[in-house]
């Protein structure tokens, strides 16, 4: 079956899209109908927008943490006051089911509250004591000073969370932020930025630009820090571009998250966890369960129960009736990738227990799918599928499961299902990934006190926790005297034999180990 690319939208690298016509057509993935046309911002326009927010940044920084928290509190209140409308808009441009669309807004408000309550402490000056006795007369200070303008380039799978999660942290830190949302889902971020400017009357430190590669590239050139969430391929292009101006980047990229089910696991919980972790948001999450390894003794039971569970899920895009569990696919390019992975697995001998077909249009639909007897010769176990597909592989024991889990270029997150939580934690230390959920899926994303980031090709840098706000700051070290100073310090010119002798003896005494060496005997 051929990939359908809806008119006016193309791959994220910008090939063959309405970019040439200077506009993006935003369509409903559920039925392909047009929602809006959004003008593409030229590189000149991007520079203008960045300079505009830069002008307002100093005042924003000077406002202090409490002042910034107050403004972001107003944004939180606006979001809750407009919850229905935002969920509807997001549903239209993503094709999510209502429950998935409603997940995003409270999570962003939680980030506002978390950094609102903890950010000041996390960014407070640190005053370490000098380790060198001779420097005890100094006061040391580590100061977190914000980058002026952060560019946040985001993907289409969570238009609100991934455009605002890092943006909130950056704004709290005192930066100005320009968001470049995905060309497939710009409307929700645009509406929130509009509200910040018009309804809330917030300072001019938050803006949005639209487009694809050219706009994104111009943003990389113009900003002082780039937060990028998206594919590994584009992440590498962004990092290369940022190298030209030595602009620091934080990259949250793709994943191929493994789930290991040990023989002592609560099978029903593991089945439900795999179904939710694999199919939430139609499997379009960087943290989706993308491959499952199950120990031999419970393999047959696990796969048949999983197939049964998934076959009962209802697909569609509901309203507040909440009658659907799995939605459409947001990007028109994604169903074709899913199809290639499933057909490759089928051809190599895997069993498709449920689903396994693209649904006829209009819109972008792929059935929730369970694949049994998968192995590492198959694309579906090696490459990011980013769709509603759960492939399962039988393993001899935990050691084999760990070996296979680590046999990936990605290392974003993972899960281990077992009733022995202590053993689960021990095995977690052997998984090469930025996060492990024991007897659970996805929960680490909600634990804002923990850093969230990928190893290997899954990224560089972390969001959430202290790391997630400090990354938006430049670290400044300040050394100042505790007491009035003399005319010159001992290390300063001129060098004399007497002074050098005393300094050498002092350094030796401090740094050599063993009395003979300390005393130079």
Point out which span in 175-183, 192-200, 301-309, 371-379 binds ligand NAD (CB under 6 A): 175-183
- Does 165 bind ligand NAD (CB under 6 A)? Our answer is no
Is residue 417 involved in binding ligand NAD (CB under 6 A)? no
Q: Report the alpha-carbon distance of residue 32 to residue 37 in Å, rounded.
A: 14
Minimum gap (Å) between residue 253 Cβ and ligand NAD: 5
Q: Is 397 helix (H, G, I), strand (E, B) or coil?
A: coil
Report if residue 108 touches ligand NAD, rule: CB under 6 A: no
Question: x-or-dash pattern for ligand NAD, window 369-398, by CB under 6 A?
Answer: ---------------x-x------------
Annotation marks residue 117 as catalytic: no
Residues near ligand NAD (CB under 6 A), total: 32
Name the residue nearer to ligand NAD (CB basis): 212 or 275: 212
Q: The tokens of 6 are what? A: 């809806």
Which of 21-29, 49-57, 114-122, 250-258 is the region at the interface with ligand NAD (rule: CB under 6 A)?
Answer: 250-258
**Residues 326-355 within binding reach of ligand NAD (CB under 6 A):** 331
**Rg of the chain in Å (alpha carbons):** 26
Coil, strand, or helix at residue 374? coil
Nearest distance in Å: CB 237, ligand NAD = 4
Share of the chain residues as helix, strand and coil, in percent rounded to the nearest 5: 45, 20, 40
Q: Name the burial class of residue 79, with classes exposed (0-12), middle (13-18) and buried (19+) by CB atoms within 10 angstroms of its CB.
A: buried
- Per CB under 6 A, 234 contacts ligand NAD: yes
Residues in the chain: 521
Cβ-proximal residue to ligand NAD, closest one: 216
HEC sequence for 473-506: EEEEEEEEECCCCCCCCCCCCCCCHHHHHHHHHH
Note whether 372 and 303 are within 8 A (CB): yes
User: How, if at all, do strands 249-252 and 410-411 pair?
Assistant: unpaired
Residue of the chain from 9, 101, 173, 238 that contacts ligand NAD (CB under 6 A): 238
Could you tell me the two tokens for 36? 């809006």
Range 278-317, binding ligand NAD (CB under 6 A):
286
Residue 457 lies near ligand NAD (rule: CB under 6 A): no
Q: Does 434 bind ligand NAD (CB under 6 A)?
A: no
Rounded Cα distance, 223 and 246, in Å: 11
Rounded to the nearest 10°, the torsion over CA 289, 290, 295, 299 is 100
Task: Give dist(CA 433, CA 417) in Å, integer.
Answer: 16
How far is Cα 12 from Cα 231, in angstroms, rounded to an integer? 9
Based on CB atoms, which residue is closest to ligand NAD, 115 or 410? 410
Site for ligand NAD in 54-93 (CB under 6 A): none
- Residues facing residue 148 across a β-bridge: none
38 closest CA partner among 25, 52, 48:
25
Using the minimum distance from each CB to ligand NAD, give the nearer residue, 302 or 410.
410
What is the pairing mode between strands 351-354 and 289-295? unpaired
196 to 215, contacts with ligand NAD by CB under 6 A? 212-213
Cβ distance to ligand NAD smaller for residue 57 or 152: 152
Question: Based on CB atoms, which residue is closest to ligand NAD, 390 or 412?
Answer: 412
Q: How far is the CB of 238 from ligand NAD (least distance, A)?
A: 5
* 3-class DSSP state of 243: helix
User: Among residues 271 and 337, whose Cβ is nearest to ligand NAD?
Assistant: 337
Please report, to the nearest 10 degrees, the dihedral formed by the alpha carbons of residues 83, 84, 85, 86 taken in order: 50
Q: Is 151 in the site for ligand NAD (CB under 6 A)?
A: no
Structure tokens at 182: 């995905």
12 binds ligand NAD (CB under 6 A): yes
Residues 395-414 as x/- pattern, contact with ligand NAD by CB under 6 A: -----------------x--
For residue 303, the minimal CB distance to ligand NAD (Å) is 25
| Pick 356 or 461: Cβ nearer ligand NAD | 461
Instruction: Identify the active-site residue in 252, 295, 383, 384.
Output: 252
Stretch that binds ligand NAD, among 197-205, 248-256, 344-352, 511-519 (CB under 6 A): 248-256
Q: Does 189 bind ligand NAD (CB under 6 A)?
A: no
* CA–CA distance, 356 with 316 (Å, rounded to integer): 16
Concerning whether 252 is annotated as a catalytic residue, the answer is yes
Mark the segment that binds ligand NAD (CB under 6 A) among 96-104, 252-260, 475-483, 509-517: 252-260
With binding defined as CB under 6 A, does residue 255 bind ligand NAD?
Answer: yes
**Residue 109 to residue 105: CA distance in whole angstroms:** 6
Which residue, 303 or 328, is less far from ligand NAD as judged by CB?
Answer: 328
Nearer to ligand NAD, 156 or 196 (CB): 156
Report d(CA 488, CA 444) in Å as an integer: 54
Angle between helices 213-222 and 43-62 (to 10 degrees): 40
Of the pair 196, 386, the CB lying nearest ligand NAD is at 386
Using DSSP, state whether 228 is helix, strand or coil.
strand
> Which residue in the block uniquely carries the two structure tokens 């239209």?
92
Measured from the CB of residue 13, what is the shortest distance to ligand NAD in angstroms?
Answer: 5
For 290, which DSSP code? Answer: E
- Of positions 237, 274, 280, 433, contacts ligand NAD by CB under 6 A: 237
465 binds ligand NAD (CB under 6 A): no
Q: Contact 303/275 with Cβ under 8 angstroms? A: no
Residue corresponding to tokens 């780039």 = 226
List residues binding ligand NAD (CB under 6 A). Answer: 12-13, 153-157, 162, 180, 182-183, 212-213, 216-217, 229-231, 234, 237-238, 252-255, 286, 331, 384, 386, 412, 454, 459
Residues serving a catalytic function are 252, 286
């Amino acid at each position: 079956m051929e990939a359908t690319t809806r008119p006016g939208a193309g791959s994220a690298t910008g090939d063959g899209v309405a970019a040439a016509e200077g506009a993006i057509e935003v369509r409903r993935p559920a039925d392909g109908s047009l929602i809006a046309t959004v003008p593409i911002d030229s590189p000149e326009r991007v520079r203008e927008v960045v300079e505009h927010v830069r002008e307002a940044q100093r005042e924003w920084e000077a406002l202090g943490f409490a002042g910034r928290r107050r403004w972001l509190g107003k944004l939180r209140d606006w979001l809750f006051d407009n919850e229905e409308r935002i969920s509807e808009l997001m549903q239209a441009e993503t094709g999510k089911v209502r429950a998935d669309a409603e997940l995003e807004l409270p999570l962003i408000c939680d980030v506002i509250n978390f950094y609102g309550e903890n950010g000041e402490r996390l960014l407070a000056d640190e005053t370490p004591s000098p380790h060198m006795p001779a420097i005890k007369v100094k006061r040391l200070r580590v100061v977190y000073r914000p980058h002026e303008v952060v560019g946040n380039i985001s993907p289409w799978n969570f238009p609100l969370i991934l455009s605002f999660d890092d943006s909130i942290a950056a704004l709290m830190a005192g930066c100005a932020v320009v968001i470049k949302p995905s060309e497939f889902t710009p409307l929700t971020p645009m509406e929130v930025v509009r509200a910040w400017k018009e309804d809330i009357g917030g300072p001019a430190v938050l803006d949005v630009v639209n487009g694809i590669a050219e706009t994104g590239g111009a943003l990389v050139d113009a900003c002082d820090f780039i937060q990028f969430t998206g594919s590994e391929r584009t992440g590498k292009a962004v990092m290369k571009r940022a190298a030209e101006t030595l602009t620091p980047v934080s990259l949250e990229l793709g994943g191929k998250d493994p789930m290991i089910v040990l023989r002592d696991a609560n099978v029903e919980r593991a089945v439900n966890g795999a179904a939710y972790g694999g199919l939430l948001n139609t499997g379009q999450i960087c943290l989706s369960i993308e491959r499952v390894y199950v120990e031999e003794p419970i393999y047959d039971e696990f796969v048949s129960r999983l197939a049964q569970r998934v076959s009962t899920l209802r697909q569609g895009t509901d309203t507040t009736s909440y009658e659907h569990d799995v939605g459409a696919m947001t990007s028109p390019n994604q169903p074709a990738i899913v199809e290639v992975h499933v057909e490759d697995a089928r051809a190599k001998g895997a069993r498709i227990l449920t689903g396994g077909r693209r649904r006829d249009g209009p819109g972008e639909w792929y059935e929730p799918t369970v694949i049994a007897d998968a192995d590492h010769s198959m694309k579906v176990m090696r490459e990011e599928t980013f769709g509603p597909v759960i492939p399962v592989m039988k393993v001899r024991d935990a050691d084999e499961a760990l070996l296979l889990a680590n046999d990936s270029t990605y290392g974003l997150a993972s899960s281990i299902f077992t009733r022995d939580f202590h053993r689960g934690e021990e095995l977690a230390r052997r998984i090469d990934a930025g996060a492990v959920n024991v007897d659970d899926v996805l929960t680490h994303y909600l634990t804002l006190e923990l850093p969230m980031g990928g190893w290997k090709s899954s990224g560089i840098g972390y969001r959430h926790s202290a790391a997630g706000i400090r990354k938006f700051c430049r670290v400044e070290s300040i050394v100042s005297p505790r007491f009035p100073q003399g005319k010159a310090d001992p290390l300063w010119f001129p060098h004399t034999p007497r002074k050098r002798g005393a300094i050498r003896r002092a350094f030796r005494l401090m740094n050599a180990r063993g009395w003979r060496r300390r005393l130079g005997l």
